[in-house]
Amino acid sequence: MLRISKKADYAVFLLGAIARQGAYPGGAAGDSVVSAHEIAKLAGLNKSVVANLLKEFARRNLLESVRGLRGGYRLVKPPSAISLGEILEVVEGPFTLVDCVEHTLDGKSSGLLPLARSADHPAHDCQLIGFCPSKNPMRIVHQRIADLFHRIRLDELCSLADATPTAARR
């Protein structure tokens, strides 16, 4: 069954903790940052686990890292502009519901477009791909789940005061 890992759960919590401190563009704290030590203490997690996750988010341009004595991390964009899909992709890799679906950027806000693997995509493992009756239905399910992940925003996940319903942002 589809399940979000503990690591992904921690990642949402950590990014939410930074957001709650107002460390993002337009946030209450403006240009302030939150240290990995502060976040680890808030989360009750091992500092090395927190530091590794934060570094990965900085590498993927969801966080900005500020060095120095008063260094730390801040979100690169407001929590309302960060999707669960982006967070999960950093931690878990691209979402794949079934093996016969792969991803490509589609240039739209949802971010992912599933493509069935075929002879043009020799990496497929399924011997039934050419005549599979569930390939297209699974693509539909995959796309709807991927779209949902990209519509759910960090501000909603963390119940931030400025959270607005997803429908209002469309």
- Distance, CA of 32 to CA of 35 (rounded, Å): 10
What confidence tens digit (pLDDT) does each residue in 68-82 have? 888 899 999 999 999
Token couple for 20: 């709650």
Average pLDDT over residues 151-159: 92
What confidence tens digit (pLDDT) does each residue in 53-66 have? 999 999 999 999 98
Bridging pattern class, strands 63-66 and 112-116: unpaired
- The pLDDT of residue 70 is 82
Q: Which residues, in sequence order, are CB contacts of 102 under 8 Å at separation 6+?
A: 94, 96, 114, 115, 117, 121, 123
What confidence tens digit (pLDDT) does each residue in 16-45 have? 999 988 888 887 766 788 999 998 998 888
- Distance, CA of 52 to CA of 71 (rounded, Å): 16
Q: 14-25: string of b/e by CB count within 10 Å (b at 16+)? A: bbbbbbbbbbbe
What amino acid occupies position 147? D
Domains and CATH numbers, the chain: 6-80 (1.10.10.10), 86-151 (no CATH)
Among 26-30, 90-94, 136-140, 145-149, the range scoring the smallest mean pLDDT is 26-30
